[in-house]
Amino acid sequence: MANQLDLYQLRAFHALGTTGSFTRAAQRLHVTQSAISHAIAKLEATARVGLVERGGREVRLTEDGRRLFQACEQVFATLASATEDLGLAPAAGRLRLGATVEFGSSILMRHIRPFLAEHPAIEIDFTLAHDLLTPLLRDDLDVVIDCQEHLQPGLLRVPWFRETYVVAAAPSFLAAHPILRPRDLGACPILSLDKPGAWWHRFLLALPQEDPPELNRIIEVNHIRAMINAAVEGLGVLLAPTYSVLGELERGALEAVLPGTRPRSDRFYIYQKRHRAALRSHRLLTDYLQTIRPPEF
């Protein structure tokens, strides 16, 4: 058929739509940039419509291009799943797993080894970052573990566990700054991931509406582990995920403050693109993650 779409050209187009760049698409498919450009030109000639808007470093898809790209996503994921189900390919290959920084460092790295031992043909690369949605939508990550709620269409969201928080400070700090009630925080240096103190909304929302503390002396530390170390050194009071400070609490480097007040917890979710969720490697990883019930939780 003269107008039949070519599979290689469709794969080149899908790589281009995913990466937004001829250079990155070529790198993904291990071909030259000119090969990608030539394949796209041929595909547009066959389809008799423009599929990409050229100009600048980033490539944008036209309306026709977006429709074809969505079809490619479905088709290639279905073919990959069928290949696995037919036994033509094992659950193998590389999975790119993203997680929040402290969770990835404190929990994920401690508990992922049994999965890798059971499935030696599956290789996992890890990305720990604050922004996980952007690389997931861009296909730079396959599966992400995030405590933020994402409602984008096409994403499969699997609820996992609730992340609890604790307010804590070093014993030496508490000796100099007694904290007996929430209002006492107003006279203390407060460690926060952001200067306005929005990080502390989990704690503030758990207090009665009347007479909330004013956080007047906020020290910004933009990394949870650094914030924990700062608290151990007596720089201020912190609010942190409970699992991240269990060691410091157990050895007395930090003490829980205002234990009668329970900060709002966050729900952790496992996210992936819906059309890829049927892939066996994805299913195996998602199922394994849901079995993790570490004592840190």
Higher pLDDT, 293 or 218: 218
Give the per-residue pLDDT at 115: 95
- The answer on 257 and 181 residing in a single domain is yes
CB atoms within 10 A of CB 162: 12
Q: Can you give the pLDDT at residue 126?
A: 96
> Of 85, 118, 134, which residue sits at a domain end?
85
The answer to whether residue 79 scores a pLDDT higher than 90 is: no
* Structural domains of the chain, count: 3
Q: Say if 218 falls within a structural domain.
A: yes
Determine, yes or no, domain membership for 297: no
Which residues pair with residue 128 across a beta bridge? 99
Last residue of a domain, one of 85, 112, 135: 85
What is the distance between the alpha carbons of residues 180 and 166, in angstroms, rounded to a whole number? 15
Q: Are residues 120 and 30 in the same domain?
A: no
Q: In Å, how far from its chain's centre is CA 275?
A: 18
Q: What is the pLDDT of residue 288?
A: 95
Do 102 and 148 lie in a common domain? yes
pLDDT value of residue 88: 54
Residues 108 and 249 grouped into a single domain = no
- Assess whether 216 and 191 both reside in one domain: yes
For residue 101, is it within any domain? yes
Region 70-98 average pLDDT: 73
Which of 53, 69, 85 is the last residue in one of the domains? Answer: 85
> What is residue 97's predicted lDDT score, i.e. its pLDDT?
96
Q: How confident is the model at residue 84 (pLDDT cuts 50, 70, 90)?
A: low
Is pLDDT larger for residue 4 or for residue 169? 169
- Indicate which CATH number applies to the domain containing 204: 3.40.190.10
**Cα(192)–Cα(254) distance, rounded to whole angstroms?**
16
Residue in 264, 296, 294, 287 with CA at minimum distance from that of residue 158 = 287
CA–CA separation, 152 and 172 (whole Å) = 46
The pLDDT mean for the chain works out to: 88
Least Cα distance to 224 among 132, 129, 82 occurs for 129
CA distance 1 to 41: 18
Domain match, 153 and 235 both: no
| Beta bridge partner(s), residue 163 | 266
97 shares a domain with 77 = no
Residues 156, 283 within the same domain? yes
The pLDDT value recorded for residue 1 is: 38
Note down the domain range covering 114.
93-162+267-291
In terms of domains, do 144 and 271 share one? yes
Instruction: Calculate mean pLDDT across residues 202-226.
Output: 87
Q: Which tens digit of pLDDT belongs to each residue from 174-194?
A: 999 999 999 999 999 999 999
pLDDT at 91: 55
Distance CA 158, CA 137 (A): 16
- Both 99 and 169 in a single domain? no
* Residue 296 belongs to a domain: no
Residue 14, H or E segment: helix 7-19
74 pLDDT band (50/70/90 cuts)? confident
Residue 76 and residue 102 in one domain: no
User: Taking residues 262-286, what's their average pLDDT?
Assistant: 89
Smallest CA-to-CA distance from 96 within 135, 142, 64, 136 is with: 142
Q: Which residues contact 19 (CB under 8 A, 6 or more apart)?
A: 25, 28, 138, 139
Q: What is the mean pLDDT of residues 223-227?
A: 93
**pLDDT 10s digits, 256-269:** 999 888 888 889 99
- Please indicate, yes or no, if residue 170 is contained in any of the structural domains: yes
pLDDT greater than 60 at residue 83: yes
